[in-house]
Amino acid sequence: MFVSPAYAQAAGSAGGIAGGVEAFLPLVLIFVVFYFLMIRPQQKRMKVHKEMLAALRRGDRVVLASGIMGLVTKVTSDTEVQVEIADGVKVRVVRSAIQEVVAKTEPVSGAKEDAKDGTETPADK
C-alpha cells in the first residue's frame, strides 16, 4: 500500500553529477551579474577617486563630503590638506573627506616650460 522510500530516492538521483551542477549554475550566474553590475563599477569609481586625491595640490577648489566648498591652501601630508572655507578661515581635513575637485589649477612647472619655449601662457594674456 505504501510506496517504499527506496523508489522515491531512486527517481530523484537519475541525474547524478549533472543534477548537482545544474543546481549550482544559477548561483554562479547571479554572482557574475552582481560582479558586472555592482562590484566592478564601484571599484572603478574608487580608483578614479583615489587618483584624484593623489593629484590634489594647492589652489584646487574642492567640495568636502559635508558639502562645504573651499580652496586648498596647503597640502600638509599624505593624509591631510588645509582648506580655506571662508576669508581667513582655514581648516585641516583628511584627504578622504574631499568628495570632488571642482576647479583644477594649472601646474606651475608647465607654465615655466611654456614660457621657455616662447609660447604664450594663459597667465601672460
- For residue 124, is pLDDT > 70? no
Q: Which domain holds residue 68?
A: 56-103
When divided into structural domains, the chain yields a total of 1
71: β partners? 61, 84
Instruction: List the grid coordinates of 75.
Output: 597640502
39 domain-assigned:
no
pLDDT in tens, 88-104: 999 999 999 999 999 88
| 71 found inside a domain | yes
Cα–Cα distance measured from residue 17 to residue 25, given in angstroms and rounded to the nearest whole number: 13
> Nearest CA to 94 among 62, 59, 46, 47?
62
The pLDDT of residue 32 is above 90: yes
Tell whether 78 is covered by a domain: yes
CATH code of the domain containing 74: 2.30.30
Question: What is the pTM (predicted TM-score) of this model?
Answer: 0.62
The 10 Å Cβ neighbour count of residue 20 is 10
Distance in angstroms (rounded) separating the CA atoms of residues 8 and 3:
8
